[in-house]
Amino acid sequence: MRKLALSDEILMSIEKPARYIGNEVNMVKKDIDKVDVRFAMCFPDVYEIGMSHLGIQILYDMFNKREDIYCERVYSPWLDLDKIMREQDIPLFALESQQSVKDFDFLGITIQYEMCYTNILQILDLSKIPLMAVDRTEDDPIVIGGGPCAYNPEPLAPFFDIFYIGEGEMVYFQLIDKYKENKANGGTRLDFLEMAAQIEGLYVPMFYDVTYHEDGTIKSFEPNNVNAKNKIIKQLVMDISNTYYPDKPLVPFIKATQDRVVLEIQRGCIRGCRFCQAGSVYKPVRERDLEFLKEKAYNMLKNTGHEEISLSSLSSSDYSQLEGLINFLIDEFKGKGVNISLPSLRIDAFSLDVMSKVQDVRKSSLTFAPEAGSQRLRNVINKGLTEEVILNGAKLAFDGGWNRVKLYFMLGLPTETVSDMEGIAELSEKIAELYYQIPKDQRIGKVQVVASTSFFVPKPFTPFQWASMNTKEEFLSKARIVNAKMKEMLNKKSLKYNWHEADVSVLEGLLARGDRRVADTILYAYHLGCIYDAWGESFDNDKWEQAIAATDIDMDFYITRERDTDEILPWDFIDVGVTKQFLKNEWKKAKEETVTPNCRMKCAGCGVAKFGGGVCFENKN
């Protein structure tokens, strides 16, 4: 039996020791002496979160299909173990072999959200890998980052050797082959990074120099190494039904956040919501073939024993064969005790019919995401959902027996006025009133409308990348306006309003649109003890404020300042396909309250057609 990295004594004194033992169903076992390359794949958050991530399951399967590579997993030790590992000087280990991360060839870190940045430093630190890429030696693993936050890698630039821009299925094997070649030739770390820089989609931050104007904006962003490309082109899987997807996903012992089979039905989104980064960077939408999905659904349920399957995509209702897929799942699996969990579908007759088949109507609630309280502001953000559609959907649902509705909105969107904010309360009220139009003897109790707002954070590669973001005070005063309006509504007892603290959103704003200078702030905050910033119990805003002050970060420059469209943005060196000109036009149209039709209605000429596939070429064969 494998020897565990942690002693019984440690494992018995921490929460959920099963986080650290590996050995899960479908864990890949390999003889370490018979592989050439060891890859540690890390999700820098706690095990239950990391194990719920589909991307790692896909890459774990992909890497391990190759006999010469052994891919293992690493997650952030929880606060209790973190403390013990520091006190007792225990190096961070991978779950499979229970061996030190430091001894691996690669440490790959998926960067899914900004608030995990200090956990990345925790991972490096506990692994005893120098935090700064320039300090690493031939004995250290190559540290490579990927995932959505890699679309603006600059705040993390000094901590990574390489960033992988795009979808992981594409160029990893090229990179690993180069690594083996370099090792065989006795090449150095630097030699390898120069080889990596020549591969499409890979960005080696130390090969670039940035200079700044006096006002703090970027003056130049230039390669300092002949092997480094001027533009890094995002990598996309174009043949999405003929690629890596696990048949045997890992099954954790402890309950993970996503404790079910996840079937990714498509990538990308046809809709052009102007606040949405995923919608922009994963363009164009690429649908997976129905037969591919049926086979994967069957295999994954069989090999995991999960009792639930869930569909995943940015907008499942837009999947053209949704009806066929859902009917297949119900016919094939419903009778075998498998629950079918549907993602937030557009509420219409079809989805309500399906939902009534797969879930208990009385226990479930309906979800709408209008995102903004007025049609005017919904036009600004290009959210195609109209009040009429929402009310029709709600009416259908109430007739079908539902009586709970959840509504999601954002506060702080560009051009927002008081009447947009109050519109949140008014829309909630209209939905409640609709319910009470049903004759009393046909109603099932009271209606409950829960409206939640999050604070808008402008993201790179969206038309709002130039927008001013609100301050904490502005956010909170907006939430109070909504709350006060809710209290004025006739059916206020049926309405509930939730909003969050604004501290984290402001920090997220700094990290999302930050440049290389923000790396100092992250490092400073980490040295002050910040980790697990995404977790309320450990987030410490005072320490972050201290770090911001100590590293001379002007929050107005990064947060509230509206950028000039001619300014060099920190992420401009990345080519995501969607052109800067298109984003500028969309930013202009947003201010003019003009909508842009979705990709299936009319091509907007965003630029991603150059990838040669997906929705851009539907019905064009």
Site string for other proteins, 377-406 (x = CB under 8 A): ------------------------------
Q: Considering the complex, state which of residue 186 and residue 337 has its C-beta at the smaller distance from other proteins.
A: 337
28 contacts other proteins (rule: CB under 8 A): no
**Count of helices and strands (H, E) across the chain:** 20, 19
21 contacts other proteins (rule: CB under 8 A): yes
Nearest to 520 by CA among 509, 511, 532, 533: 511
- Interface region with other proteins, contact rule CB under 8 A, candidates 5-13, 152-160, 384-392, 540-548: 5-13
Q: Considering the complex, state which of residue 364 and residue 541 has its C-beta at the smaller distance from other proteins.
A: 364
The set of residues, in sequence order, having a beta carbon less than 8 Å from that of 588 and lying 6+ positions away, is none
How buried is 391 (Cβ within 10 angstroms: 0-12 exposed, 13-18 middle, 19+ buried)? middle
DSSP string, 201-242: TEE-GGGEEEEE-TTSSEEEEEESSTTS-SSEEPB--S-TTS
Please pick, from the candidates 306, 378, 404, 485, the single residue that binds other proteins as defined by CB under 8 A.
306
Q: Largest alpha-carbon pair distance within the chain? A: 82
**Could you tell me the two tokens for 226?**
């002949």
Q: Are 394 and 344 in contact (CB under 8 A)?
A: no
The set of residues, in sequence order, having a beta carbon less than 8 Å from that of 527 and lying 6+ positions away, is none
Q: Could you tell me the smallest distance in angstroms from the CB atom of residue 448 to other proteins?
A: 20
Q: Could you tell me the smallest distance in angstroms from the CB atom of residue 336 to other proteins?
A: 8
Q: Could you tell me the smallest distance in angstroms from the CB atom of residue 302 to other proteins?
A: 7
337 contacts other proteins (rule: CB under 8 A): yes
Q: Could you tell me the smallest distance in angstroms from the CB atom of residue 129 to other proteins?
A: 26
84 contacts other proteins (rule: CB under 8 A): no
Segment 245 to 274, residues that bind other proteins, using CB under 8 A: 251, 253-255
CB atoms within 10 A of CB 190: 12
11 contacts other proteins (rule: CB under 8 A): yes
* Dist CA 452 CA 411 (whole Å): 10
φ and ψ of 124, to 5 deg: -60, -45
341 contacts other proteins (rule: CB under 8 A): no
Which of helix, strand or coil describes residue 574? Answer: strand
Please pick, from the candidates 86, 219, 302, 591, the single residue that binds other proteins as defined by CB under 8 A.
302
Total number of residues shown for the chain = 621
Please pick, from the candidates 138, 214, 224, 305, the single residue that binds other proteins as defined by CB under 8 A.
305
Q: Are 301 and 310 in contact (CB under 8 A)?
A: no
Q: Are 76 and 17 in contact (CB under 8 A)?
A: no
* Dist CA 587 CA 570 (whole Å): 18
* Dist CA 206 CA 228 (whole Å): 10
Crossing angle of helices 117-126 and 518-527, in 10° steps, is 60
Q: Could you tell me the smallest distance in angstroms from the CB atom of residue 28 to other proteins?
A: 12
Segment 469 to 488, residues that bind other proteins, using CB under 8 A: none
Buried/exposed 471-484: b ≥16 CB within 10 Å, e otherwise: bbebbbebbebbbe
Which of helix, strand or coil describes residue 395? Answer: helix
339 contacts other proteins (rule: CB under 8 A): yes
Please pick, from the candidates 103, 247, 307, 501, the single residue that binds other proteins as defined by CB under 8 A.
307
Q: Are 347 and 396 in contact (CB under 8 A)?
A: yes
* Dist CA 244 CA 106 (whole Å): 20
23 contacts other proteins (rule: CB under 8 A): yes
Residue located via tokens 């300042």:
561
Please pick, from the candidates 360, 542, 552, 592, the single residue that binds other proteins as defined by CB under 8 A.
360
Q: Could you tell me the smallest distance in angstroms from the CB atom of residue 91 to other proteins?
A: 19
Q: Considering the complex, state which of residue 336 and residue 602 has its C-beta at the smaller distance from other proteins.
A: 336
Please pick, from the candidates 312, 317, 359, 392, the single residue that binds other proteins as defined by CB under 8 A.
359
Q: Considering the complex, state which of residue 337 and residue 445 has its C-beta at the smaller distance from other proteins.
A: 337
Please pick, from the candidates 22, 249, 268, 514, the single residue that binds other proteins as defined by CB under 8 A.
22
Q: Considering the complex, state which of residue 197 and residue 354 has its C-beta at the smaller distance from other proteins.
A: 354
- Interface region with other proteins, contact rule CB under 8 A, candidates 1-9, 151-159, 205-213, 525-533: 1-9
Q: Could you tell me the smallest distance in angstroms from the CB atom of residue 356 to other proteins?
A: 11
8 contacts other proteins (rule: CB under 8 A): yes
Q: Considering the complex, state which of residue 85 and residue 115 has its C-beta at the smaller distance from other proteins.
A: 85
What is the DSSP-derived secondary structure letter of residue 93?
B
Q: Considering the complex, state which of residue 339 and residue 491 has its C-beta at the smaller distance from other proteins.
A: 339
- Residues near other proteins (CB under 8 A) are 1-2, 4, 8-9, 11-12, 17-18, 21-25, 27, 251, 253-255, 301-307, 336-337, 339, 359-360, 363
